[in-house]
Structure 1
Amino acid sequence: MSSLSIIVATDSKLGIGIDNKLPWHLPEDLAHFKRTTTGHAIIMGRKTFESIGRPLPNRRNIVVTRNHEWQHAGVEVVASLDAARALLDQELAFIIGGAEIYSQSMELANELVVTEIQQEFACDAFFPVINPLIWKETGREKHFSKEKNLHFAFVTYKKI
């Protein structure tokens, strides 16, 4: 069975997006995302894929959608998160969004890789609450973006 991790950036209220876009631009987080996911499978919902607009290079792109007609070059299309997991062998896969896929995958994942941005943004999509009875923080790297004047941390949680 593959190892399933969730990677996400959240604001101080667990906001992750607005109008199918990131409400912030944090180059350090984008670089962290690229470093962490390159060479691995990434699983996302169709709306997340459409917000990105293209398959991400050097990763196996898997898109979950209920629309059986939908397809795009360079991605594997499945109807459910279970179907996405069935495509994986022993490889590490990252769930990259959006909100519905995150909610569905919380009980399946064994690791969370969270960029916690210490500011609140206008958001209409949110990450589920991280239950401390289920998830234990195992690592935290604090950072400050001078360019964006934002405090943030790369935080790792493991399932207890």
Structure 2
Amino acid sequence: MIAIVAHAKDLAIGRGNELPWHVPEDLRFFKKKSSEFVNVLFGTNTFNSFKGFRLAGRKMCLLSSGNDSLTSDYHFKSVSEVLKFSQSNEIIIAGGAQIYKAFAKHITRFYITRIDLDVDEADTFLFDYTDMFELCSVIETGDNYSIEMWVPKNV
């Protein structure tokens, strides 16, 4: 499985169900990379953060155990349902924190934008992936960000 995320120095990924920064290069990379996949997986909070906005050319997949009335293209109730679906369908994991953690051991490529920023009052954080993953390549760098690909460590 493939995953994509952006985080601040302290692994913050959200504040008030929104990105706590605006880095256009990261948004462009997200659009480009997620467009390579038909299906983009979100948890409820991340799905809701789109406020009804649809990702052009991509199917929005929701993982939620609840009976959400959200308008996703696919609604999965469990990690095992997503894993079964992913056996015959490409899927990219796009958040949030609980979703990344739930699929961590299944991620084979992790596209990570590291934002050189301290976030005040962040309320959502990525797990410490550096124990499980190692830097494979740097894709792009800028004044306040680095877009990288990480892969599982050989244990």
Q: What amino acid sits opposite 1:82 in the alignment?
A: S
Runs of 4+ in 1 over 6 A off after TM superposition: none
1:42 is paired with a residue whose SS is strand
CA distance in 2, matches of 1:130, 1:84: 21
CA distance in 1, matches of 2:68, 2:27: 31
Written as runs of structure 1 = structure 2, the 5 A alignment for 1:28-47 is: 28-40=25-37, 41-47=39-45
Q: Is the 8 A contact 1:49 1:55 kept in 2?
A: no
- The equivalent residue for 1:156 is 149
Structure 1 stretches lacking a partner, 5+ long: 145-149
Summarize deviations over 1:1-33 as a string: whole Å, max 9, x none: xxx111000001100001111001111100000
Aligned-residue Cα RMSD (Å) equals 1.6
Count of aligned pairs: 150
**TM-score, length of structure 2 as denominator length:** 0.88
2:25 is paired with a residue whose SS is helix
Summarize deviations over 1:28-81 as a string: whole Å, max 9, x none: 100000000104121110111110123311112210112124231x52111122
**TM-score, length of structure 1 as denominator length:** 0.86
1:8 is paired with a residue whose SS is strand
Whichever structure has more helix as a proportion of its residues is: 2
Structure 1 position 91, deviation (Å): 3.8
Q: What amino acid sits opposite 2:44 in the alignment?
A: R
1:94 partnered with 2:87:
no
Structure 2 stretches lacking a partner, 5+ long: none
- The equivalent residue for 2:54 is 55
- The equivalent residue for 2:69 is 70
Whichever structure has more strand as a proportion of its residues is: 1
